Structure 1
Amino acid sequence: MGTGKKEKQRRIRQGDTRDGNLRVKGENFYRNSKRVQFLNMYKGSNDIRNKKGEIVRGADLQDRTIPTARVQPDRRWFNSTRVISQDALKHFREALGETQKDSYQVLLKRNKLPMSLLEEKDRSDSPNANILETESYSQTFGPNAQRKKPRIAASNLEEVAQIIQKDNEQYEEKQELNATLGLMGNQEDEDNGWSNVAKEAIFSKGQSKRIWNELYKVIDSSDVVIHVLDARDPLGTSCKSVEDYMTKETPHKHLIYVLNKCDLVPTWVAAAWVKHLSKRRPTLAFHASITNSFGKGSLIQLLRQFSQLHSDRKQISVGFIGYPNTGKSSIINTLRKKKVCQVAPIPGETKVWQYITLMKKIFLIDCPGIVPPSTKDTEEDILLRGVVRVENVTNAEQYIPSLLSRCQVKHLERTYEISGWDDATDFLQMLARKQGRLLKGGEPDESGVAKQVLTDFNRGKIPWFMLPPEKEEEEKIKEESKNKERIKKRSNEADETSQEKKTKTS
């Protein structure tokens, strides 16, 4: 349809009988405003000259005229900055620093606060590098230059030694972190006679990469993290490396302690531990039971307060972390009043994380038990914390002496109805003969009885607990005073007997 004849034939063929001029190829043939603007862009790209050849108007992006480089006098240029005095900055750091460290106060809208000012420190020394102390100007830049770049890392031999020592420490820490799977594997160096190679494979449970990934998922998905502790040994079942990780990487998330299994310890011991741990984090005592629980109302009320703090969100998520067999899934079942999580008196029952709805605005997240690797923990500590399944341990009788040292004799006598043993071997033999657990030839089954005693210890059939540091000091003072009184009584009795003998002889 390039000519008028073809256009006319097309209109006849299509039955278009409208009056009007036929559009023929030429000017404005099927051309809209966008096309015209596009073509004018090419026309206006050249410069315009007069008769003499002088440029009247330069081409686009080729104008050589210098613009007036004057900033508009507007205060909006300075709205994004603020200058304060050093006294005000010091007051801000002290006030906000105390609030940030206090676990009972919450900073709302942290994104609108200059939190970076708390980490910055004023440098008293000059930031200028002492280049000439390292190498002279002639050796670096002159005709006798020996290096292309000056070495400004250290100015004397002492600084070189410090830098080398620091690099070695960083390398060792990196090697330890690689061996313990990530940020939370801060091990404390201590030569206690144990090595990772010498330990059995069963004592590495709770440290696999899969479980660490589950823990990271729970921490990332939670607004409030509940650290579940065993009331019998709260310090032994606390994950210090996880707390340090959250303090450094996720300071905006709330972390609280829950002392579970408080029914296995006396009331004054649970109250003392709550008082001791409350100095670090908010702490609650709890007894997980669907029918007869303790501390359930306090925990739900605390979670509702956290949901009110995050009123801008539709719901909040609460994650449960801690050692295996501390009762994380049991607490969730207690809050829901029914069995929504699989529970068992053995470690490692929870395999993956799972979401549970508590109420409209609060969701609970169950997490597998995690065991932070540490060189300070011995095999006895790991076994007696309930981390390992006792039936899979070889030579269980070797851990009975440490168990007897933690328990009182009267509790063992009351539980097994035996008395008068001398050592751990004698204890196992007496218990085996009482229960009739004998091997071929009438020999006592020490290994089987030892596993039974360890199982009873972990499941709470044998009473035992650890005292807080304050109570331990008080008990030591009381024992010392009792020992002094006994010594005085003995000395007084000895003096009385000696005087009686003198009177008789006289």
Structure 2
Amino acid sequence: MHVKDKSKSKNLHMLISGRPKRNRKGEIIKEAEFQKTTRNNQSKIPPDTKWFKATRVVTKQELQVYENCVQKLNPYNVLLEKGKIPFSLLNERITKKKYNVDSNFNVKNSTFCNKSIEELKKLLQKNEKNEEKTEEKNESESKAGKGNSKRIFNELYKVVDSSDILIHVLDARDPMGTMCDSFMETLKLHFSSKQVIFLLNKTDLIPTSVTASWLRKLSINNPTVAYSSFSIEKSFGKESLISLLRQYSKLYKNKKQISVGFIGYPNVGKSSIINSLRNKLVCKVAPVPGETKVWQYVRIMRRIYLIDCPGIVPRGDDSVLKGGVRIEMIEEPEEYLNEIISKGREGIENKYKVTFQNSDDLIDKLCVKYGKLSKGGVYNRNEVAKMILYDWTRGRISYFNKPEED
């Protein structure tokens, strides 16, 4: 008896299955696989001219314009989109075209001798070195521009590229004055997927009613949180901020962790906020601008990381009264007293217990009161003006701006 193994049975089944089944008369009862003779009901395109003409195509720009016109402004609408290009890594430096001596002074057909041409080359090389030194000097941080150097803006855009959420820290005494408008416009144009949160810091220096009115106004465009970092252990608004970050983290389920970048003017309290959230000193803090030199990663939770950024001052902005410049570097501090008096005259009178008519009268009275006199009884006006600026930037002179009523 012949026994079929598994491979032979498979081979026979393959040969048999490829044939149709027939009856005794030779008629096909069951057709073989893939050999059907019956026709299926085929679908036909109706003879309509619209299928054979060019159709109108809507571009992406037109859809974006339509979306902007239709949608209502809502600060709680979230756009999730990953950035594809790390802009901070692009370094497109425009270099000047070097002056070619050989092309302009041909050795064969020239009135200059070889020695003169060599001297010209040395002079050009020396000039190029001087230009490079001048560029490096201009790029370095100037005394009055600590927050608008090229290095600071490079650090800023590194933080922006690395962050999923950006927290714009504002001084509660002057939120609109400490808001970087030009940078916010750049975010809307090139980083529209970045979520921006406004954080009103130093709310303990203004009345509660003013804080509430600022919250109502700023929350129209972006989520806004009131905050006050008294110290590492004591802070107001910590629970609200952490709760908001947890809500945002649920939107990024495809990521293992999310990064939150802190941006804003110098000396508005970015590092102090991170320390209060972490409950220990992880970022250096100082009552002077420029303490934070580079960006710094800090872990607050398993999925949330905080990034501390150096303070930025937009170019052409008056940064002295906003705490963006170190007071000891200001050569003529008396120029800023009139603006301080116009903003916080009542706070100056309460702080120094004096009444005055103008800035000169104020300096004279404070020189007498605090004994700021030079040789021969001359008033040391420069030192007194710097003292007022110190008290102004550190919050010792009470002042605040109320939001404009719409």
1:260 match: 201
Match runs of 1:104-123 below 5 Å = 104-108=76-80
Residue 243 (structure 1) shift? 1.2
Distance 1:310 1:403, change over 3 A: same
* 2:247 corresponds to which of 300, 305, 318: 305
Q: Aligned letter for 2:395?
A: G
1:354 match: 296
Structure 2 CA distance for aligned equivalents of residues 320 and 260 of structure 1: 12
Name the TM-score, length of structure 2 as normaliser. Answer: 0.68
Structure 2 CA distance for aligned equivalents of residues 224 and 353 of structure 1: 15
2:166 match: 225
Cα deviations by residue, 1:205-225 (Å, 9 ceiling, x for unpaired): 211111111011000000000
1:179 match: none
Distance 1:92 1:392, change over 3 A: closer
Distance 1:440 1:304, change over 3 A: same
Residue 202 (structure 1) shift? 2.9
1:102 match: 74
1:331 match: 273
Cα deviations by residue, 1:23-60 (Å, 9 ceiling, x for unpaired): xxxxxxxxxxxxxxxxxxxxxxxxxxxxxxxxxxxxxx
Contact 1:407-1:463 within 8 A present in 2 as well: yes
1:284 match: 225
* 2:359 corresponds to which of 421, 424, 433: 424
Structure 2 residue ranges without an equivalent (≥5)? 1-42, 46-54, 84-137
User: SS of 1:233's equivalent?
Assistant: coil
User: SS of 2:319's equivalent?
Assistant: helix
Cα deviations by residue, 1:367-404 (Å, 9 ceiling, x for unpaired): 00111113xx3xxx321011011111012122211111
Distance 1:425 1:108, change over 3 A: closer
Distance 1:96 1:239, change over 3 A: closer
Structure 1 CA distance for aligned equivalents of residues 63 and 297 of structure 2: 43
Residue 100 (structure 1) shift? 8.2
2:177 match: 236
Structure 2 CA distance for aligned equivalents of residues 400 and 201 of structure 1: 23
Contact 2:313-2:319 within 8 A present in 1 as well: no
- The answer to whether the aligner puts 1:467 opposite 2:402 as a matched pair is yes
Cα deviations by residue, 1:156-182 (Å, 9 ceiling, x for unpaired): xxxxxxxxxxxxxxxxxxxxxxxxxxx
Cα deviations by residue, 1:269-322 (Å, 9 ceiling, x for unpaired): 111111111112111111013222111000000000111110111110000011
Structure 1 CA distance for aligned equivalents of residues 62 and 293 of structure 2: 49
Match runs of 1:45-444 below 5 Å = 99=71, 101-108=73-80, 201-288=142-229, 289-374=231-316, 377=317, 381-409=318-346, 411-419=347-355, 421-444=356-379
Residue 241 (structure 1) shift? 1.6
User: SS of 2:143's equivalent?
Assistant: helix
Structure 2 CA distance for aligned equivalents of residues 348 and 90 of structure 1: 44
Q: Aligned letter for 2:262?
A: F
Who wins on radius of gyration, i.e. which is larger?
A: 1
Structure 2 CA distance for aligned equivalents of residues 394 and 359 of structure 1: 45
Contact 1:223-1:254 within 8 A present in 2 as well: yes
Structure 2 CA distance for aligned equivalents of residues 287 and 332 of structure 1: 12
Contact 1:99-1:105 within 8 A present in 2 as well: no
Structure 1 CA distance for aligned equivalents of residues 71 and 203 of structure 2: 31
Q: Aligned letter for 2:385?
A: A
Q: Aligned letter for 2:210?
A: V
Distance 1:266 1:235, change over 3 A: same
Structure 1 residue ranges without an equivalent (≥5)? 1-72, 76-82, 112-196, 474-506
2:116 match: none
Q: Aligned letter for 1:437?
A: K
Structure 2 CA distance for aligned equivalents of residues 205 and 92 of structure 1: 39
Residue 435 (structure 1) shift? 1.0
Q: Select the structure that is richer in helix.
A: 1
Structure 1 CA distance for aligned equivalents of residues 259 and 340 of structure 2: 39
Contact 2:80-2:193 within 8 A present in 1 as well: no
Residue 203 (structure 1) shift? 2.7
Distance 1:257 1:449, change over 3 A: same
Structure 2 CA distance for aligned equivalents of residues 452 and 253 of structure 1: 41
